[in-house]
Amino acid sequence: MKNVVLAFQDDFNEGGFKKAKFYTTKDWVHINPGGGITKGRDEVLKEVRTVHQSFLKGVSLIIESITIRFLIPTVAIANVVHKSSDYELPQGVKHQNERQMKTYIIVKRQNKWLLTLDQNTVIAGN
């Protein structure tokens, strides 16, 4: 499961999400920090690639902590605190020294662990 989180983080840091098909399900759901919900790998990739070509270009994450729990033998939930490099939203809102709680739901399909849902929440008081 940790390898799935690391693969996502590597793709986030690279910005193109070129390896996502290897660690995500086709029905992947992404919930962004603003509460937007995008369903389906193709649609999620359109969204994340768009923001990584604009205001998140060059932004990177590092893992501060990770906790993984099994809900059942084939479903795990990973709660990960990421520290983000600084960035600025198009509206001019600056994000500095930001920490984010990212929840990953990872499922085992055909003997392989895959990301099926992720939700990103900015930790208050950064």
Neighbouring CB atoms inside 10 A of 121's CB total 13
Name the domain count of the chain.
1
pLDDT at 126: 60
pTM: 0.91
State the CATH number of the domain containing residue 17: 3.10.450.50
Q: With b meaning 16 or more CB within 10 Å and e meaning fewer, what string describes 84-110? A: beebeeeeeeebeebebebebbbbeee
Digitized pLDDT (tens) for each residue of the chain, 126 residues in all: 899 999 999 999 999 999 999 999 999 999 998 899 999 999 999 999 999 998 899 999 999 999 999 999 999 999 999 999 988 887 888 888 899 999 999 999 999 999 999 999 999 876
Domain hosting residue 68, numbered range: 2-122
